Amino acid sequence: MGGVSPLPPRRPPLNRIRQQLRAARRALGERAKRQQSKALVRRLVRLLRVKRARQIALYWPADGEIDPRGLMTPLAARGARFYLPVLHPLKRRPRQGALWFARYRAGERLRPNRFGIPEPTGRGRHLIRVRCLDLIILPLVGFDAQRYRLGMGGGFYDRTLALRRRHPSWRRPWLIGVAHECQRLDRIEPRPWDIRLDAVVTESRLY
Ligand SMILES: Nc1nc2c(c(=O)[nH]1)N(C=O)[C@@H](CNc1ccc(C(=O)N[C@@H](CCC(=O)O)C(=O)O)cc1)CN2
Ligand SMILES: Nc1ncnc2c1ncn2[C@@H]1O[C@H](COP(=O)(O)OP(=O)(O)OP(=O)(O)O)[C@@H](O)[C@H]1O
73 in a structural domain: yes
Mean pLDDT of 172-191: 96
List, as residue ranges, the binding site: 65, 149-157
Mean pLDDT of 147-170: 91
9 in a structural domain: no
pLDDT-derived band of residue 5, with 50, 70 and 90 as boundaries? Answer: low
CATH number, residue 61? 3.40.50.10420
Tens of pLDDT, residue by residue over 68-78, are: 999 999 999 99
Atom of ligand 2 nearest to the CA of 138: 27
Tens of pLDDT, residue by residue over 75-111, are: 999 999 999 999 988 776 666 789 999 999 999 999 9
- Mutational pocket test of ligand 1: of 37, 117, 159, 160, the residue with most ligand atoms within 8 Å of the beta carbon: 117
pLDDT at 10 over 90: no
User: Is residue 143 a contact partner of residue 151, using CB atoms and an 8 Å limit?
Assistant: no
20 in a structural domain: yes
Q: Give the separation between CA 6 and CA 9, rounded to whole angstroms.
A: 8
Q: Give the separation between CA 5 and CA 109, rounded to whole angstroms.
A: 60
pLDDT at 65 over 90: yes
Residue of 106, 83, 72, 89 lying closest to 173 (CA atoms): 83
pLDDT at 2 over 70: no
Q: What is the ipTM of this complex?
A: 0.93
Give ∠ CA 62-64-70 in degrees, rounded to 5.
Answer: 75
3 in a structural domain: no
Cβ of residue 59 lying under 6 Å from some atom of ligand 1:
yes
Helix (H) or strand (E) segment spanning residue 73: helix 72-76
Percent of the chain with pLDDT over 90: 83
Cβ of residue 151 lying under 6 Å from some atom of ligand 2:
yes
Q: Give the separation between CA 65 and CA 59, rounded to whole angstroms.
A: 10
Helix (H) or strand (E) segment spanning residue 26: helix 14-26
Cβ of residue 193 lying under 6 Å from some atom of ligand 2:
yes
Cβ of residue 157 lying under 6 Å from some atom of ligand 1:
yes
Contacts 24+ apart (CB under 8 A), 185-191: 185/17, 185/21, 185/142, 185/143, 185/144, 185/150, 186/144, 187/144, 187/146, 188/142, 188/143, 188/144, 188/146, 188/148, 188/149, 188/150, 190/148
User: Which residue lies with its CA nearest to atom 5 of ligand 2?
Assistant: 159
Cβ of residue 154 lying under 6 Å from some atom of ligand 2:
yes
Domain count for the chain: 1
163 in a structural domain: yes
1 in a structural domain: no
Instruction: Give the range of the structural domain holding residue 192, as residue numbers without chain letter.
Output: 14-201
- Mutational pocket test of ligand 1: of 101, 115, 117, the residue with most ligand atoms within 8 Å of the beta carbon: 115
Give the pLDDT of residue 67. Answer: 97
Give the pLDDT of residue 47. Answer: 97
